[in-house]
Amino acid sequence: MEEQYKRLLELLGEVSDLQAAAAVLGWDQQTYMPPGGAQGRSMHLATITRLAHEKFVNEEIGELLEALKSEAADLDPDSDEACIVKQVSREYEKQRKVPGEWVADFSRVTSMAHQSWEKARKESDFPTFEPDLESVFELRRQYVDFFTPYDHIYDPLLDDFEPGLKTSDVIQIFEELRPKQVELVQAIAESSNSIDDAVLYQSFDETKQWDFGEEVIKAFGYDFDRGRQDKSPHPFTTSFSIDDVRITTRVRPDFLSTALFGTLHEAGHAMYEQGISDSLARTPLEGGTSLAVHESQSRMWENLVGRSKPFWVAFYSRLQEYFPSELGDVKLDDFYQAINLVEPSLIRVEADEATYNLHIMLRFELELALLEQQLKVSDLPEVWNQKMDEYLGVTPPNDAEGVLQDIHWSMGIFGYFSTYSLGNLIATMLWDKMKIDIPDLEKQIELGKFDDLLGWHREKIHQHGGKYEPMDLVKRATGSELSAEPYIRYLQTKFGEIYDL
Ligand code: ZN
């Protein structure tokens, strides 16, 4: 077994090296590359990505996995070896089911769809995008067929982002969540406590914003010896190895929240990747286990920590020192309320904690209806607007601010949206369990101490990388199945207090 396992790691290591090289090129593309480099870069990336894929689905890896599977049955199921054989086999079998011809079609169609989406969004004209979106959907329906039999037509798509999770679980969770969230948003709208967030919209020096953000994430435990922060139009985290995990942010000179919470969010993703065990390096398990678990980490640092009172007890006077003329006279309580303003809005990425999940559920429901052929692509704008009104009480004035706002569908990405909401739920599940294990957690945060908090997540989540399927990992960490209840309770308590409900 030893020889074969060594050979498997060698091959997987080469795939991982190619993927890391592609990630460096992608990072450069979005940070420092001059616009003229775009054409050449897309060729570099296409070649490296194809080579990585070919190397991975290669017969030799299949034979090694086959040989190792029966032997791995005798190993401790939690050992790196057993988990690597199990998870890599799963991914290998999935990727082998997708014909190269489909991959080429998909790449061609989505590249056209992406262009027509950009044009349609600019002109707020859905019919420009409609035929291409139709083709993308057709390809996604074909994709799903490669994975028959399935319980639900949406399962194979969800599984790409949340291995092992079933659509029926998500439907059930969302059914529990939706009425409570709608109810909460309505109660807030009717509350007599109106919050003013004008203090966040002043002129804030960009360098000081940058420095304050970095000071905070250093205190959180983001390791700058194994990472760095740069600017990009859309913030993201990327990892080239466990020892080089980078983040980006964007800074608005007239609005404090964008850079600050963006930095905290990405640092959450990055600390997860920095905390993965070295023993998983250069294997497919060296990243986070799923998008939802990843999002649980980013949302925790951004919201459960970064938008909490204890955190600002520790950091508000520091922020005032950076911005004495802008915030010197603003009281901590008023600042805390301002960063937690709830306001139903049209755009998902700008949504607050209380309304965010409603944006997600809308998209999830539309994707399901399209796949189940209960909704036609041409009817999307109308149904989108109806649901916005029903859930949030706002109606988009045009399709650019409605159905055309997200990039995902134009790239052929379906099954992704729900992971954002599931991340919120997982974050509060972990938080509740952690509070039991660290009884003075809030006190520690008020003192600006995060070692225990980060240490808890290192132990329960980070170190395991992709060894366990996401819901298995959550269960190991919390002892519970995925549930909406902790998140609903968190929202009700937090916003009940802020809005006197
Ligand atoms: Zn994120």
Tens-place pLDDT, residues 67-83:
999 888 899 999 999 99
Distance CA 439, CA 151 (A): 42
Among residues 81, 162, 266, 286, the one annotated as catalytic is: 266
Residue 366 main-chain phi, psi, to 5 deg: -65, -40
- Which pLDDT does position 71 carry in this prediction? 86
Q: Give the predicted TM-score (pTM) of the model.
A: 0.95
User: How many A from CA of 306 to the centre of ligand 1?
Assistant: 14
User: How many A from CA of 452 to the centre of ligand 1?
Assistant: 23
Q: Which two tokens stand for residue 296?
A: 């649980």
**DSSP for 445-492?**
HHTT--HHHHHHHHHHTGGGTTSS-HHHHHHHHHSS---SHHHHHHHH
Q: Which residues contact 177 (CB under 8 A, 6 or more apart)?
A: 357, 361, 421, 425, 484, 487, 488
SS3 248: strand
- Which pLDDT does position 350 carry in this prediction? 85
Q: Are 402 and 346 in contact (CB under 8 A)?
A: yes
Q: Which tens digit of pLDDT belongs to each residue from 416-447? A: 999 999 999 999 999 999 999 999 999 999 99
Residue 249 main-chain phi, psi, to 5 deg: -145, 170
Residue count of the chain, please give it: 501
User: How many A from CA of 90 to the centre of ligand 1?
Assistant: 25
Distance CA 266, CA 302 (A): 9
User: How many A from CA of 260 to the centre of ligand 1?
Assistant: 14
**Residue tagged 């004035």 (tokens):** 397
Question: Is 266 marked active-site?
Answer: yes
Q: How many CB atoms lie within 10 A of CB 89?
A: 17
Residue 461 main-chain phi, psi, to 5 deg: -120, -60
Q: Which tens digit of pLDDT belongs to each residue from 262-300? A: 999 999 999 999 999 999 999 999 999 999 999 999 999
Read off the pLDDT band of 1 (50, 70, 90).
Answer: confident
- Which pLDDT does position 114 carry in this prediction? 86
Read off the pLDDT band of 333 (50, 70, 90).
Answer: very high
User: How many A from CA of 266 to the centre of ligand 1?
Assistant: 6
- Which pLDDT does position 238 carry in this prediction? 96
